[in-house]
Amino acid sequence: MRRGGSSVPTAGGRGRGTLRSVDESLYTLAGGERQLHRLAEAFYERVLVDPLLRPLFRDPAEDHAERLTLWLSELLGGPALHTEARGGFAVMAAAHHRLGITEEQRQRWVDHMRAACAEVGLSDEFMRRFRPYLDGGSTFALRVSH
């Protein structure tokens, strides 16, 4: 895989889309799966009480933090945890289908993710390199939600 750039969906096993990261070092820079799980927990502590974002989550009992950990681990160059456990890119895209995400909700999501990154002590270098993933991923979610 190449370094630099962004993530792209690729064809995976049994016809399911998988995710291939083209920036493998962000997983390591973040501190691996354990730190990404801390990030996901801090993020959802914010999101699930935000009146603007809370309506997007159908079942608050679901382990959203675990799902986000799997996704981020794979997206940022770690093991293919999301693909192995949940089925890859197509599953993530389908989860956002028909949510009707607004631009205001997209931006709030990004703001909460950036605040959670700071809360768990992720570096400025990580944030600089993670920002395109936040912007691109949240814009994709907005588009597939309509």
Domains of the chain: 8-144 (1.10.490.10)
Q: At what angle do helices 64-75 and 32-47 cross, to 10 degrees?
A: 130
- In tens, the pLDDT along 72-123 reads 999 999 999 999 999 888 888 898 999 999 999 999 999 999 999 999 999 9
Lowest mean pLDDT among 19-23, 37-41, 142-146: 19-23
d(CA 15, CA 80): 16
Does position 5 have pLDDT exceeding 80, yes or no? no
DSSP summary character for residue 14: G
How far is 53 from 109, CA to CA, in rounded Å? 7
For the chain, the 3-state helix, strand and coil shares in percent, each to the nearest 5, are 65, 5, 30
Say what the pTM is: 0.81
Mean pLDDT, rounded, for 41-61: 91
The pLDDT of residue 143 is above 90: yes
